[in-house]
Each structure stands twice: as C-alpha cells, then as structure tokens.
C-alpha cells in the first residue's frame, strides 16, 4: 500500500455485521458490510436513499468519515472472511477504495463490491480476492438510459470477471427482462442472477415465484433477499 493510502478517508453510511449476505453468489454466507455514502443514480425503488437523496434526507446526518486504516482494523476484529462493500455507489470512491481493498485482501479477507455498473473499475482495484457484483439498472428504476447504461463500464466489468444481478420489479417485469436479455447479449457476464425488487417478505416471495421460470429458461440463477425475509428492512443487517 502506498504510505498515504491507509489515512485516506471514505464517506461511510454504516458498517455492520457479521450478518448474512442476503443476495447473489455468496447468499447465506456470514459477511461484514461497509456501506459507503453517495450515488450517481436516483432509482425510484432504491432501498438506501439516505446515501444520496438530499430532497428527503440530510446526508450529513447519515454520513461519517472513516480512514482506510479504521475500516480495515474494524474488519480484522472479526474472523469473518467475506467483506461486502456497498452503497450508494462504492466506485464513486474508488481511489480511496484501492487502499482499503488491498488492506482487506492482505488481511485474508475476500471482498465483494456491489456496483451499479456505470463506473469502470480502476486496474489497481481488480485482482485476486475481489469480485464485483454488478447490478445494472433497468427502465423500471426511472433513471434515464443515458445515465444508467454505460457500455464501456460494463465491458470493463465483464473483463474483470464480474457477475451480474438484475433487480426486476413485478410491475415492469416483461420490459425489465427484455432489457436484461439485450444487455447480457451485448455484455456476456459469466453468471447472471435475477432478483425481485421488494423490501417486505411477501413482495419478495411473489417476485421470486414470478421470476423462477424466467431464470430457468435463460439458464440464469435466482436470488432471494434473505436479509429481508429474516430481518425485514431493518438497517444494520
Ligand atoms: N444482509 C444483507 N445482504 C446484502 N446484500 C447486498 C446488500 C446491499 O445493501 O447492497 C445487503 C444488505 O444490506 N444486507
Ligand atoms: S444505484 Fe443503487 S444505491 Fe444508487 S439509487 Fe440505484 S438502487 Fe439506490
């Protein structure tokens, strides 16, 4: 790590865990979470709007700054191997994240970065022990296509061996799936998950039932939102 990297500061909304990774490839695995503040998108169904929505939240109230050293020390106080960096959009802070990811991997952790796929990862942040879970936003997010679809960033993420996870809303299911099909044709992620949108268990369960066949015909995987089933939409899980 360069000398200054561990004093670099990150805008953090919360750290929590160990809890269970609720989505995607490591579903059900114990994990520590670092949720960074700020996002470059404005999805209408976002379940973490306090990381970016200044019209509804005082972001200062929901933000603390932590150094890379503090965050990596916190992670090392737990034996939990998996650390999930989420947001917001964590790659907005990737200059500072390089040092954090290096420190975590050097400490024996595996790192997952949850990203919306609009920002190409720096070469320095890619590497063994780090995986990007890319969740490209579809039309149902309410965000304009030019903001949410960045083909060059997606190509870089495919090249970095990332996986892809589409959040599909029940009301816009057909349009979301058609867009997901097109996106995967253009950007061949090695594995694709469908995940229902929802912050309550009944909504997630209904979504899972409606999506199961669509995942199967495409050879894609389906993920629930385990943390919603277990803890509802409580922060800190
Ligand atoms: N348990 C749990 N699993 C998660 N997987 C992705 C999360 C996220 O907020 O990005 C998340 C979360 O907030 N909690
Ligand atoms: S990209 Fe993620 S954090 Fe950002 S607004 Fe959309 S759902 Fe929320």
CA distance 77 to 95: 24
Residue 193 lies in a domain: no
> Tell me, what's the pLDDT at 98?
97
Known binding residue 164? Answer is no
pLDDT band at 2 (very low <50, low <70, confident <90, very high): low
Residue 74 lies in a domain: yes
pLDDT band at 1 (very low <50, low <70, confident <90, very high): low
- For residue 6, pLDDT over 60 is answered with yes
- The DSSP code sequence of 115-135 is E-S-SPPPGGG-STTEEEEE-
Diameter over CA atoms, the chain: 52
Q: 186 alpha carbon to ligand 1 midpoint, in Å?
A: 27
- For residue 84, pLDDT over 90 is answered with yes
Q: What percent of the chain has pLDDT over 90?
A: 96
- Choose one of 35, 87, 147, 199 to mutate for the ligand 2 pocket test, by most ligand atoms within 8 angstroms of C-beta: 87
- For residue 197, pLDDT over 60 is answered with yes
- Total domains in the fold of the chain: 1
SS3 of residue 202 by DSSP? helix
Q: In the chain, count H helices and then E strands.
A: 7, 9
The token pair at 30 is: 């114990």
CB atoms under 10 Å from CB of 28, counted, come to 11
Residue 170 lies in a domain: no
> Helices (DSSP H) in the chain: which residue ranges?
68-76, 94-106, 145-148, 151-159, 173-186, 201-218, 226-231
Known binding residue 44? Answer is no
Residue 41 lies in a domain: yes
CA distance 42 to 53: 8
The sign of the dihedral angle between the CA atoms of 48, 49, 51, 56 is negative
What contacts 200, CB < 8 A, 6 or more positions away? 228, 232, 233
The token pair at 237 is: 């899980």
Q: What is the pLDDT of residues 45-79, one digit of tens each?
A: 999 999 999 999 999 999 999 999 999 999 999 99
Residue 204 lies in a domain: no
- For residue 205, pLDDT over 60 is answered with yes
Residue 206 lies in a domain: no
Contact (Cβ atoms closer than 8 angstroms) between residue 51 and residue 64: no
Q: What is the pLDDT of residues 160-177, one digit of tens each?
A: 999 999 999 999 999 999
Write out the residue range of the structural domain in which residue 98 sits: 3-164
Establish whether residue 19 lines the binding site of ligand 1, counting it when its CB lies within 6 angstroms of any ligand atom: yes
Arithmetic mean of pLDDT, 122-134: 97
**CATH number of the domain within which 10 lies:** 3.20.20.70
Helix H or strand E encompassing 192: strand 192-196
CA distance 174 to 190: 23
Write down the mean pLDDT value for the chain. 96
pLDDT band at 5 (very low <50, low <70, confident <90, very high): confident
- Which atom from ligand 2 is nearest to the alpha carbon of 51? 3
Arithmetic mean of pLDDT, 117-124: 98
> Tell me, what's the pLDDT at 233?
87
CA atoms within 13 Å, Cβ hemisphere of 144: 2
- For residue 142, pLDDT over 90 is answered with yes
Residue 207 lies in a domain: no
User: Where does residue 72 rank: exposed (0-12), middle (13-18), buried (19+ CB within 10 A)?
Assistant: buried
Residue 199 lies in a domain: no
């Amino acid at each position: 790590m360069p000398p200054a990297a561990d004093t670099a500061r990150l805008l953090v909304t919360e750290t929590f865990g160990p809890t269970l990774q609720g989505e995607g490839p490591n579903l059900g695995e114990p994990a520590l979470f670092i949720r960074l503040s700020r996002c470059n998108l404005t999805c209408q169904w976002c379940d973490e709007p306090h990381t970016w929505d200044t019209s509804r939240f005082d972001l200062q109230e929901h933000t603390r700054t932590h150094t890379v050293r503090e965050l990596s020390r916190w992670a090392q106080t737990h034996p939990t191997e998996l650390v999930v960096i989420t947001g917001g959009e964590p790659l907005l802070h990737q200059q500072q994240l390089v040092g954090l990811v290096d420190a975590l991997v050097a400490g024996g952790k595996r790192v997952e970065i949850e990203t919306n796929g609009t920002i190409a990862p720096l070469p320095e942040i890619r590497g063994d022990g780090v995986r990007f879970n890319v969740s490209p936003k579809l039309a149902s997010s309410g965000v304009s296509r030019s903001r949410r679809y960045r083909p060059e960033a997606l190509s870089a993420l495919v090249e970095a061996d990332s996986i892809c996870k589409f959040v599909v809303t029940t009301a816009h299911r057909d349009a979301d799936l058609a867009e997901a099909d097109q996106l995967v044709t253009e950007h061949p992620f090695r594995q694709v998950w469908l995940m229902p949108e929802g912050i309550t268990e009944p909504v997630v369960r209904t979504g899972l039932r409606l999506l199961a066949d669509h995942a199967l015909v495409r050879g894609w995987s389906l993920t629930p939102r385990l943390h919603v089933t277990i803890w509802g939409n409580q922060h800190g899980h």
